[in-house]
Amino acid sequence: MHRLESLPFTSHYASLGADFGARLDPDGYEDARLVAFNPDVARLIGLDPNQAERSEMALFCGGAWLPTSSQPFAQVYAGHQFGGWSWRLGDGRGLLLGELTGSDGRGYDLHLKGAGLTPWSRMGDGRAVLRSTLREFIGGEALAALGIPSTRSLAFAVSSQPVQRESVEPGAMLLRLARTHIRFGSFEYFTHNQMPEQRDRLLSHVLERHFPETVGLSLAEGAAHFFRHAVASTAQMIAGWQSVGFVHGVMNTDNMSILGESFDFGPYAFLDAYDPEACPNHSDPQGRYRFSNQPAVGFWNLKCLAAALLPTLAKDDAIAALEDYATLYQVAWETRFAARLGFRRPSELSTSLAQAWLSLLTQNRADFHFCFRRLSLSSSAPDPELQDQIADSVALESWWQDWRQALSASGDDDETLNSRLDAVNPLYLPRSWILQEAIDAASSGDFRPVRDLLHRSQNPYAEIPGAAVYSRPPAPSQACSELSCSS
**Residues annotated as part of the active site:** 254
Q: Is 149 helix (H, G, I), strand (E, B) or coil?
A: coil
Q: Is 354:338 a contact under the CB 8 Å cutoff?
A: yes
Cα–Cα distance for residue pair 349/355, rounded to 1 Å: 10
Q: Is 176:136 a contact under the CB 8 Å cutoff?
A: yes
Q: Is 101 helix (H, G, I), strand (E, B) or coil?
A: strand
User: What element of type H or E holds 36?
Assistant: strand 33-37
**Core vs surface per residue 313-343: b (16+ CB within 10 A) or e:** bbeebbeebbeebeebbeebbbbbbbbbbbb
Cα–Cα distance for residue pair 341/176, rounded to 1 Å: 34
Max Cα separation, the chain?
67
Cα–Cα distance for residue pair 439/202, rounded to 1 Å: 38
Please give the sequence-ordered ranges of beta strands (E in DSSP) within 118-230, or none if there are none.
Answer: 128-129, 152-164, 168-178
Cα–Cα distance for residue pair 136/210, rounded to 1 Å: 25
Number of Cβ within a 10 Å radius of residue 451: 13
Q: Is 133 helix (H, G, I), strand (E, B) or coil?
A: helix
Angle formed by the axes of helices 432-443 and 448-458, nearest 10° = 150
Cα–Cα distance for residue pair 24/121, rounded to 1 Å: 13
Q: Is 130:86 a contact under the CB 8 Å cutoff?
A: no
**Cα-trace Rg, the chain:** 23
Q: Who's near 117: CB < 8 A, 6+ residues apart?
A: 27, 125, 126
Number of Cβ within a 10 Å radius of residue 468: 10
Cα–Cα distance for residue pair 211/44, rounded to 1 Å: 20
List residues bridging with 57 in a β-sheet.
Answer: none
Number of Cβ within a 10 Å radius of residue 46: 15
